[in-house]
């Protein structure tokens, strides 16, 4: 029989092991709770089908989020009366004629709603999904609603780490009405992504046969199919049936395959909870400072002002901005005119260059998620955000 002394020693040792195991599990759980979000949504990216692996065609994944392109109209002539994000992308892709001539196409249904219905935290998941897809596919098409397409596109442009083509597209008329632009936009976006012609361009937007840089493009009309424009700078190129012509490129292409091509905003290094509240305050004649004070009260860490002319704001807004800066809020100056470059800045204020207010807001959200240092954020706006070209630096 085991002696009582030996039994006590074994019991004490066993108890110590149990305490150690509990402590290790607690530590691991705590570490997991503070780790960046590894979104479950990115684990469902479909593998390249076996039948496509030996095909000479490029493999393109369409990541669908809904929008007008997937909308169901009240009837065949209801251009404005429809429910966005109704049809599944798998069914829409099956309806595309001759797609087997341009690419082997797979589909991932990320979501199915209007673009304005997505939270910034969901764009975090979308960006990670795009990067994961590009580990397998030659190019990715992201379909979204057009209302906030320029913001979604710029978020992807700033955060996707792969150099492979990312093309964002949508439609101004739902899929099932006469004269719809939805099938043609989807077909041409797949063609563009599969062509590889926008490799190293970052994210580009393609609607109405026209290719735009995500940083520069904006929605200019509530209803027209040629709504997307790039003020002053112009489009990157066009698609004319089999021809894809690129006439200019984003400045980041000059850094292809070099350090500095990728932005500092690798989402794997942060969690969704790190994405801060950032607002836009719009200036007008004798505008009050209520919009700024309201955003500060809600906990905004940054505010973009859409000023008159060269970024001007009213005296009352200026007073509210000074109060907010004293509380640590960072401001970015833009213009409400639709185009124009902002220069200078000041204490707590960063010039937004030629970014419009909605683009500047996206960059400020990401910058504040990665740093709370004003000088660092200012430098990112002057480099990542500016994207200008200095030919004197191109000489070998």
Q: Which residues are catalytic?
A: 68
Comparing C-alpha atoms, which of 177, 170, 243, 175 is closest to residue 208? 170
Give all strands of the β-sheet with 166-169 in edge-to-edge order: 104-109, 59-64, 139-143, 166-169, 203-207, 210-213, 237-240, 243-246
Cα-based distances in Å from 43 to 51, 162, 273: 22, 17, 20
Comparing C-alpha atoms, which of 107, 127, 109 is closest to residue 52? 107
State the greatest distance between any 2 C-alpha atoms of the chain, in Å, as a whole number.
95
Report DSSP state, residue 342: B
Q: What is the CA radius of gyration of the chain?
A: 25
How crowded is residue 177: how many other Cβ atoms within 10 Å of its Cβ? 22
- Cβ atoms of 331 and 324 closer than 8 Å: yes
Instruction: State how far the Cα of 180 lies from the Cα of 8, in Å rounded to an integer.
Output: 81
Distant-in-sequence, close-in-space partners of 102: CB < 8 Å, separation ≥ 6: 57, 187, 190, 191, 194
What phi, psi does 285 have (nearest 5°)? -60, 120
């Amino acid at each position: 029989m085991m002696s009582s002394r030996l039994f006590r020693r074994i019991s004490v040792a066993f108890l110590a092991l149990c305490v150690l195991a509990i402590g290790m599990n607690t530590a691991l759980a705590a570490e997991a709770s503070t780790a960046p979000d590894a979104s479950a949504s990115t684990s469902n990216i479909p593998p390249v089908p076996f039948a496509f692996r030996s095909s000479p065609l490029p493999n393109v994944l369409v990541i669908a989020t809904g929008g007008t392109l997937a909308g169901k109209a009240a009837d065949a002539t209801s251009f404005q009366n429809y429910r966005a994000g109704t049809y599944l992308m798998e069914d829409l892709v099956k309806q595309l004629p001759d797609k087997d001539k341009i690419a082997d196409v797979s589909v991932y249904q990320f979501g199915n709603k209007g673009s304005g219905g997505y939270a910034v935290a969901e764009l975090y998941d979308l960006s990670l999904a795009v990067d994961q897809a590009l580990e397998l596919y030659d190019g990715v098409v992201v379909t979204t609603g057009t209302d906030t397409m320029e913001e979604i596109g710029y978020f992807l442009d700033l955060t996707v780490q792969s150099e492979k083509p990312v093309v964002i597209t949508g439609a101004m008329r739902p899929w099932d009405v006469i004269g719809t632009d939805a099938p043609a936009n989807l077909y041409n976006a797949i063609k563009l992504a599969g062509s590889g012609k926008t490799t190293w361009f970052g994210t580009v937007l393609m609607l109405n046969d026209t290719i735009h840089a995500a940083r520069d493009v904006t929605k200019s009309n509530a209803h027209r199919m040629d709504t997307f424009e790039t003020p002053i700078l112009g489009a990157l190129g066009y698609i004319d049936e089999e021809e894809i012509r690129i006439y200019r490129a984003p400045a980041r292409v000059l850094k292809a395959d070099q350090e500095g091509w990728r932005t500092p905003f690798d989402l794997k290094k942060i969690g969704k909870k790190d994405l801060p509240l950032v607002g836009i305050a719009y200036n007008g004649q004798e505008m009050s400072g209520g919009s700024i004070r309201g955003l500060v009260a809600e906990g905004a860490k940054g505010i973009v002002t859409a000023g008159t002319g060269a970024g001007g704001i009213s005296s009352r807004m200026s007073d509210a901005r000074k109060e907010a800066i004293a509380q640590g809020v960072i401001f970015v100056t833009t213009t409400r005119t639709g185009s124009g470059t902002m220069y200078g800045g000041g204490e707590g204020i960063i010039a937004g260059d030629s970014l419009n207010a909605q683009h500047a807001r996206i960059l400020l959200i990401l910058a504040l998620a990665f740093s709370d240092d004003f000088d660092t954020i200012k430098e990112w706006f002057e480099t990542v955000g500016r994207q200008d070209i200095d030919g004197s630096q191109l000489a070998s």
